[in-house]
C-alpha cells in the first residue's frame, strides 16, 4: 500500500513537470544564440541599436509564448522574427565596418597623394633652382650649346630622320632584312656606316633602337622577331665602335603599326626598325620611350 502511494506521487510529479517545461524548439534556440551574439558586439548599441531592441522584444515574446505552451507555429514565428532582426543587426554592423574600412583606405590614399605632391613640389623647386643656376651661365656657353644641338639635328636630318613628338626618328625599312629574318642584308651596311659616323661626331647623343613587325604570325613570334631585328642593328653599330651604353634596345612587336596590315605595302611599312635620337646631352623627348 505504501509503495503504491509513493508510485502515484512520483507519477503526479512527472506529469506536473511536463506541464510546466516548454517543449524544445530549435528555431527559438537559434534565436537566443543570434540575439546573444549581436548583444555581445561592442558596436551594436551604437550602430544597430534598433535591430538589437527589436530582436530582444521579439525574443521575449517568443519565450513568453513558449512558456505559455502556445502553438509551435506561433513560437517558431516569433523566434524567427527575433533571429531575423539579430541577423539584420549583424549585417548593419558589417556594412558599417566595410564603409569605415573604405574611408580609412581613402584617407591613406589621400595621405600618399599628398606626400607625392609634396615630393613633386620639391622636385619642381629643385628644377627651378637648377634652371636659374643654368640661366646664370655665360651667354657664350649657351650660344655654343645651341649651335652644337642645331648642328647635330641637321646631321640627323641628313640621315633622312624626321621630326616627331618623340624627337628625331629614323626609320630603317624592311628592305634591310630578308622576309621573316633578322640578319642584316649587305645593303644595310651603308646606312649603319652613316649612322655610326654621326654618333661618333656627337658623343653625347644616345639612341633607342626599336624593332617592329606586321600583324601576321603569332604575338610571341612577332615580338621575338622585332627584338631580334633591333638587336642586329645594335650589334652592327657595336662593330662600328658605338658603345652599348649609348643604345637602348627594345622589341615592339606589332603594337605600333604605321600603315594598314590589310595590304602587302602596308605590312612592309610596318616591318621596320626605328632609331629614336636623344639630344646632345643624352636626354630623350617626353614620350620617346612610350
Residues of the chain with pLDDT > 70, as a percent, come to: 88
SS3 content of the chain, % helix, strand, coil (to 5): 65, 10, 25
Q: What is the pLDDT of residue 7?
A: 43
Identify the three-state secondary structure at position 84.
helix
Q: What is the pLDDT of residue 240?
A: 96
Is the separation of the CB atoms in 253 and 213 below 8 Å?
yes
How does strand 247-251 pair with strand 207-212?
Answer: parallel
Least confident among 14-18, 60-64, 128-132, 275-279 = 14-18
DSSP string, 201-232: H-TT--EEEEEE--S-S-HHHHHHHHHHHHHH
Q: What is the pLDDT of residue 15?
A: 43
Average pLDDT, the chain: 86
The three cell numbers of residue 43 are 558596436
280: phi then psi, degrees, rounded to nearest 5 = -70, -5
pLDDT in tens, 198-228: 999 999 999 999 999 989 889 999 999 999 9
pLDDT in tens, 127-177: 878 878 777 666 666 666 677 788 888 888 888 899 999 999 999 876 677
71-94 residues labelled b (16+ CB within 10 A) or e (exposed): eeeebbbbbbbbbbbbbbbbebbe
Is the separation of the CB atoms in 214 and 267 below 8 Å?
yes
**How many angstroms separate the CA atoms of 207 and 275, rounded?**
6
Q: What is the pLDDT of residue 19?
A: 47
- Which helix (H) or strand (E) is 76 found in, with range? helix 72-135
Residue 245 CB: number of other CB atoms within 10 A? 8
**How many angstroms separate the CA atoms of 274 and 290, rounded?**
13
**How many angstroms separate the CA atoms of 149 and 158, rounded?**
14
State pTM to two decimals.
Answer: 0.49
pLDDT in tens, 35-74: 999 999 999 999 999 999 999 999 999 999 999 999 999 9
Long-range contacts of 47-54 (CB under 8 A, 24+ apart): 47/92, 47/93, 47/96, 48/88, 48/89, 48/90, 48/92, 48/93, 51/85, 51/86, 51/88, 51/89, 51/92, 52/85, 52/86, 52/89, 54/85
126 or 67, higher pLDDT: 67
Q: What is the pLDDT of residue 286?
A: 86
Amino acid at each position: 500500500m505504501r509503495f503504491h502511494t509513493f508510485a502515484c506521487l512520483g507519477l503526479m510529479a512527472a506529469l506536473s513537470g511536463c506541464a510546466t517545461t516548454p517543449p524544445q524548439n530549435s528555431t527559438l534556440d537559434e534565436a537566443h544564440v543570434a540575439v546573444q551574439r549581436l548583444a555581445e558586439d561592442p558596436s551594436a548599441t551604437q550602430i544597430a541599436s534598433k535591430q538589437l531592441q527589436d530582436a530582444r522584444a521579439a525574443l521575449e515574446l517568443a519565450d513568453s509564448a513558449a512558456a505559455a505552451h502556445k502553438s509551435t507555429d506561433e513560437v517558431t514565428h516569433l523566434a524567427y522574427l527575433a533571429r531575423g532582426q539579430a541577423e539584420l543587426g549583424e549585417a548593419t554592423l558589417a556594412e558599417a565596418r566595410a564603409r569605415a574600412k573604405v574611408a580609412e583606405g581613402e584617407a591613406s590614399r589621400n595621405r600618399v597623394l599628398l606626400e607625392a605632391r609634396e615630393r613633386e613640389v620639391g622636385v619642381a623647386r629643385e628644377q627651378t633652382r637648377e634652371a636659374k643656376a643654368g640661366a646664370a651661365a655665360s651667354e657664350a656657353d649657351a650660344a655654343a650649346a645651341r649651335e652644337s644641338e642645331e648642328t647635330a639635328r641637321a646631321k640627323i636630318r641628313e640621315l633622312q630622320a624626321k621630326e616627331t613628338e618623340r624627337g628625331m626618328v629614323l626609320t630603317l625599312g624592311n628592305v634591310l632584312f630578308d622576309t621573316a629574318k633578322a640578319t642584316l642584308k649587305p645593303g644595310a651596311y651603308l646606312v649603319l656606316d652613316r649612322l655610326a659616323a654621326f654618333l661618333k661626331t656627337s658623343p653625347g647623343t644616345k639612341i633607342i633602337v626599336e624593332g617592329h613587325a606586321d600583324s601576321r604570325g603569332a604575338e610571341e613570334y612577332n615580338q621575338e622577331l622585332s627584338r631580334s631585328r633591333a638587336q642586329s642593328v645594335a650589334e652592327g653599330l657595336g662593330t662600328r665602335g658605338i658603345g652599348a651604353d649609348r643604345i637602348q634596345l627594345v622589341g615592339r612587336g606589332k603594337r605600333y603599326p604605321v600603315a594598314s596590315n590589310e595590304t602587302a605595302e602596308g605590312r612592309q611599312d610596318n616591318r621596320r626598325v626605328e632609331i629614336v635620337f636623344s639630344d646632345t646631352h643624352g636626354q630623350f623627348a617626353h614620350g620617346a620611350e612610350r
